[in-house]
Structure 1
């Protein structure tokens, strides 16, 4: 019997799978056991044809039993084709035990014996490295994706013959690791802040939200610039740390959304969702427990335009990821957990017609219609949003006047945000936090440096406005970001007052 190691990916977590292959005399049966899905059961035909078409002899008339252990873990996908085929060929060929025992094998076989790329290679490589594997044999198309992980030899292979040559010593193994640059120059054309005229209060709010990773809700009539502000915010987000890049890239690897040419995510994601999207596509799930948009927006922006047009039950499902920064998808056979720490940017009209409170147009909605429309924005959801900003419509005359006053460019704003982010990086050194929005209540009380007078103002205001304890701590996080933008070591009263001003439309 031959035994090789592979991996099962559930969420971003890996579990070692022992592929046990027993070839004995029998009636020509080929059986795969171990709680595999349809793709794994179909691998029998792929493996049989790949072995024959590669010039090897398939043991016809033999009884082949493949066990994917442990049997209580659900296995899915075609990535076990390669270790199954090698287990069968191990009956005839003498593989080097030192290599087989210290290697992980993944890959889908084509009928001609070539090896196709698979999803989830990045978390599989991280698993192999953490479990002290020396080698990982994987499809050549995925080798560049795995190359960013140090401490393990990446053996990218194109076909089954090449793998057998490596394992028998006929061909010398060489690490296929390439030097992947972690620096990146953005090629995306974001809306520049200098092209947005007026809306100074809203632009300031977007800068604060970007600097600290906060949630923000924009309210205003149609055409006031809410969508433009949200898209411009994507261009001022701070650069990603290497650890953040790897974490985001793992999610995209599992989702099969990494490009072969650039298999690492260099920029913070900006995911814009239409209100007709399904709950599974946004939260995650489906038959294979795929990551949803909230996970694809991890460390970036999730933009929900026309926020109150989304179904109420879908809006309510955002509660847990907004609070905890992750989502757990439960299914009968398994549970998958994905990170989901994003900045929520919502845009909504004040009423169904959009002109409630507008200076020029009269609202035609009844009071009952307005109340029913706004009922979708429940108290628990409002508690989890840091900033509420009114974006009024600008008249043509105001637009002309503001055009003569050129504001800061996105590049200039990004430099300000980068300085604030560097202060946060220094503050959170040695902790699990990356931004002010990540801080838990204990961290706020111990390392946020909030002056006694500022804290007193925050407590008094929270009580007078009848805000929850959750909102109180969100105000403190927000004021810490405002202080970072000002370059202030301590949070002072003025920072608390600005943070409170963003609850004005709550």
Structure 2
């Protein structure tokens, strides 16, 4: 007898339908799984065997053939355990095969029959909804699957309770969607003493979604200001929260089905590999740049990262996606991030202080900063020098303006951009390009003359010219101006990286 159960295989943020076909064939007892599965799929035989034995059932003395169709699609992960077990029980006559045909099934099995969580349930639920079917998943991930709005979600704690449900002996309740966490708040900008220029650049970066680089001596507050950024960014809207949650679901970091409205803030160590930053590995997991999608990727001690690792960010920063190519798969993850980086001016960190700088200054600064490639720096909109904090700054009372006041101005500027780009693919000024950017960011005549002169004097690339326009548009939005003026262009140019002196 043969039985078929539907499940999914994950390819990036795409779920593809897979049929689990089980047939009992007369012959010597054997249990074979075919269909281009990885090690975890091959080991599912023992988990399925143990789970069925834990219910007091014995496998039939026949050849058990399991085929995962289509056979040429790579299958990875332990979520194939439960569909294999149900298809096998259907072939044995324990479960009605017809009742299984209305569901997609995902879940990992324990040897005692428990159904354990597995990554990607939210993607599977959305795929099942698109196919007009329900979903069978682990009980711990029922709230996650419920966010897809399916007609029916069966979240079972173990294999026995799931079988009893299909037999009508003990029906499983419908899970409720997980909680929506309110936006969290990090450090307050009131903790930052001095650094008015840097705080202004931070506000502009938050308002337009621009990339930011802070250069200054140790202890000047660069990391503190970066950690304040999530507190002034607007919360995720419902569609953005779902996008972020899909990435977290594939990565296995979405716990309890809780969706958050706080924008991601990822802070990888400078020893991170290319696979850790952009994605990859044996199962092509999303990297830090994808886990920071629609949020902030903070790279502290920028020159200490491997140069090839940093250069791997050049494409994602431009396109908003990262593509990981492997011999057996080509996976694309979203990577629309706001890059915030911090670095010392040189290895000792005290380039501008004659009493503390090393004897190799200023040559050591050129060598140290050369670790970051020019093309990557060209993709950073705002470059700001952070000065050392003096003792006089430290004894001053906290500033009267904190994250709450700055966040209000940022939210107002983001609201203007939302209305401006409501019919476009862009969300913020940093994403505007081509005719859309020309229509909204063309400066007035004095601003245009200044930009033309500066582009020649500063030797701006076409990308640099475009990014100056984007920053100027954001500065105008913060000022409530309809058109970009000379003063907005001038401030945007002041944050642009200066060309190297010969």
User: Please, what TM-score do these two structures have when normalized by structure 2?
Assistant: 0.94
- Alignment counterpart, residue 496 of structure 2, candidates 476, 485, 503: 503
Superposed CA offset, 1:126-160 (max 9, x none) = 22222332x10000011111221224422101111
Q: Which moved more, 1:318-327 or 1:164-173?
A: 164-173
Distance 1:411 1:77, change over 3 A: same
Map 1:251-400 → 2, pairs under 5 A: 251-260=247-256, 263-358=258-353, 361-400=356-395
**In 1: Cα distance, 2:251 partner to 2:448 partner:** 44
Instruction: Give the Å deviation of 1:249.
Output: 1.3
Q: Provide the rounded CA distance (Å) in 2 between the counterparts of 1:320 and 1:286.
A: 19
- Cα distance in structure 2, aligned partners of 1:504 and 1:82: 55
Displacement after TM superposition at 1:238 (Å): 1.2
Q: Could you tell me whether the CA contact under 8 Å between 1:23 and 1:65 is conserved in 2?
A: yes
Question: Aligned ranges for residues 473-492 of structure 1 at < 5 Å?
Answer: 473-492=466-485
* Residue in structure 1 matched with residue 3 of structure 2 by the alignment: 2
Alignment check: 8 A CA contact 2:3 2:97 kept = no
1:439 and 2:435 correspond: no
Aligned partners of 2:156 and 2:172 also within 8 Å: no
What is the correspondence of 1:96-495 to structure 2 with a 5 Å cutoff? 99-133=99-133, 135-172=134-171, 174-176=173-175, 178-182=176-180, 184-186=182-184, 188=185, 190-260=186-256, 263-358=258-353, 361-400=356-395, 403-404=396-397, 406-448=399-441, 450-451=443-444, 453-495=446-488
Question: Secondary structure of the residue that 2:267 maps to in structure 1?
Answer: strand
What is the deviation of 1:450?
Answer: 4.6
C-alpha contact (below 8 Å) 1:234/1:270 kept by paired residues? yes
Task: Show CA shifts across 1:418-440 (max 9, x none).
Answer: 11111111122133222221222
Q: Does 360-369 or 148-157 show the bigger shift?
A: 360-369
What SS class does the counterpart of residue 401 from structure 2 fall into?
coil
| 420 and 144 in structure 1: CA distance in 2 versus 1, 3 angstrom threshold | same
Secondary structure in structure 1 of the residue aligned to 2:153: strand
Residue of structure 1 equivalent to 2:17: 16
SS at match of 1:273: coil
Following superposition, the deviation at residue 278 of structure 1 comes to 2.2
Aligned residues: 498
Secondary structure in 1 aligned to 2:260?
coil
CA contact (8 A) 1:218 1:226 kept: yes
Q: CA deviation at 1:164?
A: 2.1
CA shift, 1:363, in A, is 4.4
Instruction: Tell me, in whole angstroms, the C-alpha distance in 2 between the residues paired with 1:446 and 1:499.
Output: 18
Shift in Å, 1:326: 1.4
Counterpart contact for 1:94–1:168, Cα < 8 Å: no
Deviation of residue 111 (structure 1)?
Answer: 1.2
In 2, distance between residues paired with 1:155 and 1:126? 14
The structure-2 alpha-carbon separation of the partners of 1:112 and 1:397, relative to structure 1 and needing over 3 Å to count, comes to closer
Task: Write the distance in 2 (CA, Å) between the matches of 1:355 and 1:289.
Answer: 41
TM-superposed deviation, 1:80: 0.9
| 8 Å Cα contact 1:358-1:393 kept in structure 2 | no
Deviations, residues 244-267 of structure 1 (Å, cap 9, x unaligned): 11111111111111222x532331
CA RMSD of aligned residues (A): 2.1
Name the residue aligned to 1:89.
Answer: 89
Which residues of structure 2 form unaligned runs of 5+? none
Going from structure 1 to structure 2, the CA distance change for 1:46 and 1:394 (only over 3 Å counts) comes to closer
- Compute the displacement of 1:209 (Å): 0.5
Per the alignment, in what secondary structure is the counterpart of residue 78 of structure 2?
coil
The structural deviation recorded for 1:471 is 0.8
Distance 1:116 1:405 in 2: 50
| In 2: Cα distance, 1:146 partner to 1:362 partner | 57
> How far apart in 2 are the matches of 1:310 and 1:164?
52
CA distance in structure 2 between the aligned counterparts of 1:354 and 1:22, rounded to whole angstroms: 68
Q: Which runs of 5+ in 1 are unaligned?
A: none
